[in-house]
Amino acid sequence: MSTSIRGLKRSDLTHGIVQVSLDLKTLDDALRMAAIAVEAGADWLEIGTPLVLAEGTRAVRALRKEYPNHPLVADLKVMDGGYGEAAMYAEAGADAVVVMGRAHDATVQRVCEAGEAYGLLVMGDDMAAPDRVAEARRLEELGVGMVLHHIGHDHRNMHRELKLSPLTDLPGIVAATTVPVQAVGGLSIDQAVGCPRIGAGVVVFGAPLAIDDETSFTIPEGDLPRILGDAIARVHATPVEQS
């Protein structure tokens, strides 16, 4: 797959594609996890937020060197200084960046302007929005190329009795937007594999596979290559519902 993912349309996604998030703290672990993910068939690699915080653009450059043809997503969770932060990661080799919908309109727009200038896919994250469908619509109107529908880890764990899931609002978000959508936050592998059937064609496998607890960002041992390979193959075989 080409690293040029800016301009990706929902109709381009006939079957699910997989983004593996490297939610790790060291570059060595990230490269080891990336090798497992690519061998298992991952389409995109994500520099997860823990890795962004720990290694910054160094991680992007190292992964770009090792995987020149895999799109790299930098989960920056941009809240301000949008143009400069997006440009910094684009220059390091990222193909996509994440901006938070809770940021000011101006910040989302500035990240989108950097996307235009540098050929980046801009992913707008709706986490913590009171009306997620309205937020997804707003993010698309501001110019993002993909909506990331996200229920945060802390919020889910603090309110376990509510059984919060991105699947609740996902059909409404897909119906309210025209850009590609992905859903993140507490999904089981089976639930994630089923997302393309709801119209969310970019499936993310990350923290549940890589984090033992919220303070230990390490690669799980054991059957990870087999489990991830099976999950990716299932996503690739799942057609994306076109609304």
pLDDT of 4 reads 83
Q: pTM of the prediction?
A: 0.94
Average pLDDT of the chain is 92
pLDDT for 146-171, tens place per residue? 999 999 989 988 999 999 999 999 99
Neighbours of 109 (CB within 10 A): 18
Kindly tell me if the per-residue pLDDT of 93 is higher than 80. yes
Residue 15 carries which DSSP code? B
Three-class SS state of 181: strand
pLDDT for 16-47, tens place per residue? 999 999 999 999 999 999 999 999 999 999 99
pLDDT for 174-221, tens place per residue? 999 999 999 999 898 999 999 999 999 999 998 555 444 555 556 666
pLDDT of 107 reads 98
> First CA to last CA across the chain, in angstroms?
25
CATH code that applies to domain 13-236 = 3.20.20.70
pLDDT of 207 reads 52
Give the residue with greater pLDDT, 212 vs 137. 137
**Residue 3 confidence class, pLDDT cut points 50, 70, 90:** low
pLDDT of 186 reads 85
Domain boundaries, the chain: 13-236
Torsion of Cα atoms, 28 then 87 then 4 then 178, to 10°: 110
Q: Mean pLDDT over residues 49-75, rounded?
A: 97
pLDDT of 75 reads 98
pLDDT of 170 reads 98
pLDDT for 39-60, tens place per residue? 999 999 999 999 999 999 999 9
Kindly tell me if the per-residue pLDDT of 140 is higher than 80. yes
The answer to whether the Cα torsion of 214, 63, 95, 58 is positive or negative is positive
pLDDT for 114-125, tens place per residue? 999 999 999 999
Share of the chain above pLDDT 70, in %: 92
DSSP states of 184-221 as a string?
Answer: ESS--HHHHHTGGGGT--EEEE-HHHHEEETTEE----
